[in-house]
Amino acid sequence: MPKYISLMSDFGFKRIFANPEHPHILISFIESVIPTLSISSIQIQDTIEQNDFPTDRGSIFDAHCVLNDGTQVIVEMQQIKQEYFVDRTILYASHVVRRQSVKEVWNYKLPMVYVISVMDFRLDPTDRHPTHLVTLRSAQNLNQLFYAKLQFIYIQLPNIAKLDDLTPLKTWLQVIRNLHKNEDTMTINTDSKTKKAITDAMTLAEFEQLTPAQKFRYDCEQMRETEEYSKIWTAHNDGLKQGIEKGREEGKQEGIEQGIEQGEYQAKINTARKLLQREMDLADIADITGLSETEISQITTETNNQE
């Protein structure tokens, strides 16, 4: 069994960052993402956002909290790329904003709302920015915020090497992305406050700290996520086959086949990377993806070099 659970898993992220018994961990992470905040206290909210009407769709957040000044913060961890993930974050923010309305006499003043999204993928394959801060601005005055109380922060884990070393944010992101790959305690080089929070997070993330029921739940979740990757790969592969057939019908066989071949190989590599994060055996990954164990070992080496 691994020494640590994955902080990128749904179970692991919520155990660490939505834990009402250890609010200082979430405070530390939020302050590392938004250094202008100085948080004295925090109230961790129920992660299930219910709607007023049973026919409306609710939201399930990874972490949702209210700061001492009333500021609302949503934190999301997303491993698998979704076509409309940005739309999803907008929807989540709208649910939180809507909940601020009151039925009494009210002047419509709203609290600050942040949505922090930690993503183990790039929003665009060519995007090499580690973070994106998205705010509301007028097209007639881009240098000034039109509305300052709604901000979206997108963090792209594949690009964190571009962040300055030894900053609290980079330290946190390295732990989130790599802790489950380590059998030994990770070395933390940052300020004492952040180091304390990360050390406590690593203790909570130890597999042997889980109860038997929690271990079973975590294992089931890991198998479910692996199965989801497999389904995505199968659907992707089926789509590529359909593309080949259509291309042949249209008389574009040669160009389509070249593009499909490149796409198939890149999809296999992406799938292998995800399965390596789950610490699956090379032989099993080779069986699922069709890559050779030598190719998978090369992927491991390249990933370690990027980190």
Beta bridge partners of 66: 43, 72
In angstroms, the CA 33 to CA 36 distance is 9
For 6-39, b/e burial (b = at least 16 CB within 10 A) is bbbbbbbbbbbbbbeebbebbbbbbbbbbeebeb
- Residue 238 has a pLDDT of 64
Output the tens digit of pLDDT for each of the chain's 307 residues. Answer: 689 999 999 999 999 999 999 999 999 999 999 999 999 999 998 776 555 544 555 557 889 999 999 999 999 999 888 889 999 999 999 999 998 888 889 899 999 999 999 999 999 999 999 999 999 999 999 999 999 999 999 999 999 998 988 899 999 999 999 999 988 888 888 889 999 999 999 999 999 999 989 888 888 887 776 666 565 556 556 666 666 566 556 655 555 556 556 667 777 888 888 788 777 778 778 777 778 888 888 888 877 766 6
- Residue 246 has a pLDDT of 62
The torsion angles phi and psi of 140, rounded to 5 degrees, stand at -85, -10
- Find all residues with CB under 8 Å of 89, minimum gap 6, and list them: 76, 115, 117, 152, 154
Global confidence as pTM: 0.73
Question: Cα separations (Å) of 198 from 11, 30, 34?
Answer: 17, 13, 17
Nearest to 12, CA basis, from 222, 153, 251: 222
- Residue 267 has a pLDDT of 77
